[in-house]
């Protein structure tokens, strides 16, 4: 979230792409590390847990921490697309990294 705060002055298109890349890479790596630590949830349960965590973090950040920039940078579609991409990434990583 600190990276997003530091990038608040970049052009909107670059910010949105960076937001997508950060979400996918951060939660993909988190899933991989959890699997290597022998977290035994199924791929579907892992996907729901991590996607719920992402949703909670996004809501806290954009609704309470960085209210002023929320409407300027991300609309509803730009919240849903990374959630879907993270869901797919987490499911694939959880499925293939045991």
Pull the structure tokens for residue 39. 């977290």
Domain boundaries, the chain: 11-96
Neighbours of 64 (CB within 10 A): 9
Higher pLDDT: 68 or 28? It is 28
Mean pLDDT of the residues in the chain: 83
Q: What is the DSSP string of 11-77?
A: -HHHHHHHHHHHHHHHHHHHHHHHHHTT----HHHHHHHHHHHHHHHHHHIIIIISHHHHHHH--SH
Model confidence at 66, in pLDDT bands (50, 70, 90)?
A: low
pTM exceeding 0.85: no
pLDDT of 10 reads 80
Cβ–Cβ under 8 Å, residues 79 and 86: no
CA distance 86 to 23: 7
pLDDT for residue 72 = 61
pLDDT in tens, 26-59: 999 999 999 999 888 899 999 998 888 888 887 7
């Amino acid at each position: 979230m600190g990276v997003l705060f530091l990038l608040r002055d970049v052009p909107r298109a670059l910010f949105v792409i960076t937001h997508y890349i950060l979400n996918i890479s951060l939660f993909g790596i988190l899933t991989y590390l959890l699997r290597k630590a022998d977290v035994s949830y199924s791929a579907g349960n892992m996907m729901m847990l991590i996607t719920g965590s992402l949703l909670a973090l996004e809501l806290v950040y954009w609704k309470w921490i960085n209210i002023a920039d929320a409407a300027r940078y991300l609309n509803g579609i730009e919240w849903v697309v990374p959630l879907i991409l993270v869901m797919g990434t987490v499911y694939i990583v959880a499925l293939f990294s045991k």
